[in-house]
Structure 1
Amino acid sequence: MAGGESVALCDRSAHRIIKLMSKALVLSGDTSHIGANAGIATDRKHGSTRPELLVCAGRLRVEYQPIAEVRDGSVANRDAFVRWRHQACGVLLPAACIPIADRTGRIAALGEWVSRRSRNSLSS
């Protein structure tokens, strides 16, 4: 299958899944509505891990908070914080996105990504 054909197939599959997920769900007489979203990476440059793919989609970012010396006010260090730009909820702070990463088994990968991103930021 050629590259364009496989992308089209992925796109059609994603739309089918989204359509199926948008149907009302009835449990014990209560109706719930859920939704889904899909992103398709078409090249290795988009990343190979979930955090990298979310960054490529513009959804994860690292922000830094300076740690100042009390004596002279100089910046001695900085803390790195991950932010997740969620489509429905807006920007999620670490208190919200860290537990999600933990529950989904992605906490180690996320921590490694933030650490690598922070080191790369320091060296540039």
Structure 2
Amino acid sequence: MNAFDSITSGVECIFIILLCIYYLVVQLKGSNNLFVYSTSNFWIVITFLIYLSGTFFLYIMTENMIKDRAFQIQYLIINSSFNILKNVLLSIAMLMKETPPNEQAQKNKNWDDRLSYNLKN
């Protein structure tokens, strides 16, 4: 139970990183939205991409280096740093308010209608 399986963690990281890259490519090619970073989905995918990229080699080396005290300290620092960054970016994604694309057009339309109505009176 005190062993860490580096092969499984490495394969998992590569698989999720490839899925994140694929998702971003599809979003950038097929999106009508000029500001892709304004969606919470973008921030969630970027969060996992950064976290898994940052901890990939750390997880690969863990199985062989787990008994080295210097590695344990480095592992703790690196893993904690990327966990904090992951939590901050996920918080940003969860706090973002989604605005439907038609709502902005509706706001402008209502403002124009009121303005033209006020000018007629």
Query: Could you state the TM-score of these two structures normalised by the residue count of structure 1?
Result: 0.31
Structure ranking higher in helix proportion: 2
Query: Could you state the TM-score of these two structures normalised by the residue count of structure 2?
Result: 0.31
Q: Which has the higher contact order (CA 8 A, sep 6+)?
A: 2
